[in-house]
Amino acid sequence: MKIGLSTAILWDYEKLDLSDAVFHAADLGFEAVEIHCEDPFFRGWGTEEAEITESEVKDALATLDMEVSLHAPFHDLNIATLNTGINGEVLRQLEECIDTARRLGSEIVVVHPGFVSSRKFKREKPFQRMVENLEKIAETAEDAGVKICLENLASKRKAMGVKIRELKNILKEVDAENLKITLDVAHANTTEAGPVKFAEEYKEDITHVHVSDNTGEDNHLPIGQGNIDFENVLKELQPFDGIVMVEGWIPTDEDPFLVHDREELERVREKLTG
């Protein structure tokens, strides 16, 4: 089990420098990073300028010998959209993310399941569109040697992939060996089942983990500021050789909180594996 950091936490709107965030994650003692493939986190995403950003990140990763995962675009995009034109753009950007993962040496692309964009729509149609799109990108990812890791979303009425049963239905419908689960512990804590139950139910499919704390609301707080028992969650996943990735949003002076999170996870790792 490696402990990583989402570069989105380190985002600086003045510098707009992704490679700087990668280096800073290493300075804080993290063993891996997660790259968000979308503007403004990934400068020039979807344009020729993205090649420059990618090259800088690739050089940084080679220098640091860090593991990396990629997070597919999800702001303003919906993998369950019924809009044909938008759907084409969603697929294009997801495929671009998979190709970027291949070039950066990432075996994992985290994907959000999507949502029902209007209460006027029956859930079945966008659900089926999501399944069709996941089938397409899973096939693309297989050719690239990449796993698609579907992230469980926080409990919201329009969101898909929130509850254990619906996630299982998605895996069953898509039926792709390289479609796995990213367990977002904080998102699972917004459901009645809770993160320990998610870990129990999906132990064989969980390949990647997102970590942050909350008290049941859709927040991403530093460890210890919520009520999540991370030791019990990670205990259910053992043996686990993937990345536990610290996520969240800390607007100022984030470093002490991130070091605290890393140290807490190291303590748990030592207890579970030492």
Task: Please tell me the class of the 2-273 domain.
Answer: alpha beta
| Amino acid 14: pLDDT | 67
What pTM, to 2 d.p., does this model score? 0.95
Structure tokens at 16: 């707009």
Q: Are residues 212 and 247 in contact, defined by beta-carbon separation less than 8 angstroms?
A: yes
The CA angle 113-117-121, to the nearest 5 degrees, is: 110
- What average pLDDT does range 40-60 have in this prediction? 94
Q: Judge whether 6 and 246 are in contact, CB under 8 Å.
A: yes
- The domain limits of the chain are 2-273
> Which tokens belong to 127?
């659900």
CB-CB contact of 1 with 240 (8 Å): yes
**Tens of pLDDT along 119-152?**
778 889 999 999 999 999 999 999 999 999 999 9
Residue 12 is predicted with a pLDDT of: 73
Q: Which ranges constitute the DSSP H helices of the chain?
A: 18-27, 50-64, 84-104, 124-144, 164-174, 185-188, 195-202, 230-237, 255-273
* Cα 149 to Cα 184: distance, rounded to the nearest angstrom: 11
Q: Are 97 and 136 in contact (CB under 8 A)?
A: no
Q: What is the pLDDT of residues 205-216, one digit of tens each?
A: 999 999 999 999
Of 226, 179, 178, 230, which Cα lies nearest the Cα of 209? Answer: 230
CB–CB of 156/192 below 8 Å? Answer: no
Q: Is the pLDDT of residue 57 over 80?
A: yes
pLDDT of residue 172 exceeding 70: yes
Handedness of CA 158, 90, 53, 145 (dihedral sign): positive
What angle in degrees, to the nearest 10, is found between the helix axes of 50-64 and 18-27? 20
> Hey, which residues does 36 pair with through a beta bridge?
71
